[in-house]
Structure 1
Amino acid sequence: MKTQTPNPNSAAIKWAVINLVTTIILTYGIQSLNMDPNSSLKYIGYLPFILFLILTQKEFQEQLGGYITFGQAFTAGLWYAIFTSLLLAVFIYLYLAVLSPDVFDKSLAVSQSQMAEKGMSQEQIDKAMGIAKKYGPIIAAVGTVIIDIIFGIIVSLIGAAIVKKERSPFDTPDADYKDPEPTV
């Protein structure tokens, strides 16, 4: 009978979904409190990302019997980052395009005033706003995928260095060894 090797995807998907739910709660919490989404408060969303990535690595370590190599831990973290970034991209697109387009409109107004302060002509501002209105949610979603995967790679490397626990030659169980029966 062949034993099945644990796969990091189950832990990665589980924690990615938990991160998605946490992000949705944080997003609507910030929105309901009328906080500026462009303040430094937006970086609080990276804390659950980091925590859940390390928990993904720890869960995969437990699936492997308590031992995990640097590469295995990195792979688990990377899969978590990929799944999380894809789920968050879908949420961000839906949030900006369908669920809360007023948030997107407010950010466009802020961008428009910043462009005017920089001395851009009205024609340049109108052209930039036209592109942003048409493609803004898609650009935000694609940007999320790219940024979260890069951030996930960095955090996965750090987490793998922390979590790794490789077997020593003395920890390797011998499949042929059987405990001797006590003699009386």
Structure 2
Amino acid sequence: MENQAAVTPNPTKVATKWALISTLTNIVLTYVFEFMNLDQQSPIKYLSFLPFIIFLFLAQKEFRDTTGGGYMTFGTGFSTGFRYSVFTGLLLGVFIAIYLWILSPEVLEKSLEASRAQMEARGMSDAEIERSMGIANKIGPWAGGFFSALMYTIVGALLSLIGAAIFKKERSPLDTAVDPE
């Protein structure tokens, strides 16, 4: 029999799979909320974060149960969840930028109108408001995408710590695999 070196499972494959599922789910939810004509400030929109959380934990659990052979260290669990968060954040960041810039620019316009009203209520001058609106029109989609990616990564890192603590199952010295020869 050939002596095979122990292969350390890579959490990237599992994280990528769940990041794609999460991104597709969030894209569908984005359009569902748009077709429901929900207000941009509606708390119902926070429901779209629920699949992100569920899929993060499912990624960690899948890694432990399949790729990790039933075992997973805290560090590997965190790594799986963090990779999932980064991939999901990047994919959703790109989607948000394209969504606001090309697919549904009216969503950005509604947001800018609400911002204009807030600035007027604060007593800002017309020149200040126009300058702010000009900048927001230019960088709005990209800023939306960037801050979405950043938010998903940061929140995902925190949730990855929780998931890693929940799903970790380290090998004891008695759990060593016996080489069948």
- Classify the TM-score, shorter chain: over 0.9
Answering whether residue 117 of structure 2 is matched by residue 93 of structure 1, we say no
Query: What pairs up with 1:97-176 in 2 under 5 angstroms?
Result: 97-175=101-179
Could you tell me which runs of 5 or more consecutive residues in structure 2 were left unpaired when the two chains were aligned: none
Choose the corresponding residue for 2:57, options 47, 54, 57: 54
Residues in 1 aligned to 2:41 and 2:16: alpha-carbon distance in whole angstroms: 29
Residues in 2 aligned to 1:59 and 1:108: alpha-carbon distance in whole angstroms: 42
Identity %: 49
Answering whether residue 24 of structure 2 is matched by residue 21 of structure 1, we say yes
Could you tell me which runs of 5 or more consecutive residues in structure 1 were left unpaired when the two chains were aligned: 179-184
Residues in 2 aligned to 1:97 and 1:111: alpha-carbon distance in whole angstroms: 18
Match of 2:87 in 1: 83
Q: Deviations over 1:71-98 (max 9, x none)?
A: 0000000000010000001100010000
Q: CA RMSD for the aligned pairs?
A: 1.2
Classify the secondary structure of the residue corresponding to 1:103.
helix
Match of 1:5 in 2: 8
Choose the corresponding residue for 1:40, options 35, 43, 57: 43
Match of 1:31 in 2: 34
Using the TM superposition, give the Cα deviation of residue 20 of structure 1 relative to its aligned residue in structure 2, in angstroms.
0.7
Match of 2:78 in 1: 74
**Amino acid across the alignment from 2:109:** D
Q: Indicate if the aligned counterparts of 1:31 and 1:37 stay in contact, CA closer than 8 A.
A: no
Runs of 4+, deviation exceeding 2 Å? 1-5
TM (norm. structure 1) is: 0.92
Classify the secondary structure of the residue corresponding to 1:85.
helix
Larger radius of gyration: 1
Q: Indicate if the aligned counterparts of 1:16 and 1:80 stay in contact, CA closer than 8 A.
A: yes
Residues in 2 aligned to 1:167 and 1:120: alpha-carbon distance in whole angstroms: 62
Residues in 2 aligned to 1:36 and 1:129: alpha-carbon distance in whole angstroms: 21
Match of 1:181 in 2: none
Q: Deviations over 1:80-132 (max 9, x none)?
A: 00100000011000100000001111111111011101111111110110000
